Amino acid sequence: MRGQSGPEPMLPVTLQFIIATIAYAINERMARRVDYLQEEVRVLKEALAAATGKTRIDLSAEQRRRLAMKGKALTAEERRVCCQIVRPQTILSWFRQLAAQKYDSSHARKVGRPRKTVDIFKLVLELARHNPGWTKPLRGSLVT
């Protein structure tokens, strides 16, 4: 019959084997890299504790935002395995706070022309003091 397609043609078994072997090798290399990076984080946390006596790392708002964005993209299992600096629940909490800020209108922009910076304001006042003719209307002269 027309319009119906048969089963998709499969790749030859030899090619499937080669693809599976390459995928396994890539997966193993990535697993070794992740293991190394996790160990490196543990060593850095130990060095931080030895140097400062603190076990917690103080993160800036930008660092929390970056971790929240990257951590949200992981599955729950990946977060459980990968998150070493902060708990997975903390990552999700930070992400919820970011999402809430997106829809928070309490920090909406002010309406109207933006104010002049203080240094420009001071410069204008100083120029006006040194040039008194600017502040007084000109009598008997035509301004073009």
Cβ atoms of 73 and 91 within 8 Å: the answer is no
Q: Where are the domains of the chain?
A: 12-57, 59-102
Over the stretch 17-53, which tens digit does the pLDDT of each residue have? 999 999 999 999 999 998 898 899 889 989 998 998 8
Q: Which segments of 53-130 does DSSP mark as H helices, in order? A: 61-72, 76-82, 88-102, 118-130
- For 52-78, what is the mean pLDDT? 89
Residue 138 has pLDDT above 90, yes or no: no
Q: What does each C-alpha distance from 93 to 68, 72, 84, 100, 101 come to in angstroms?
A: 8, 10, 16, 11, 12
Over the stretch 5-15, which tens digit does the pLDDT of each residue have? 667 778 889 99
- For 69-97, what is the mean pLDDT? 90
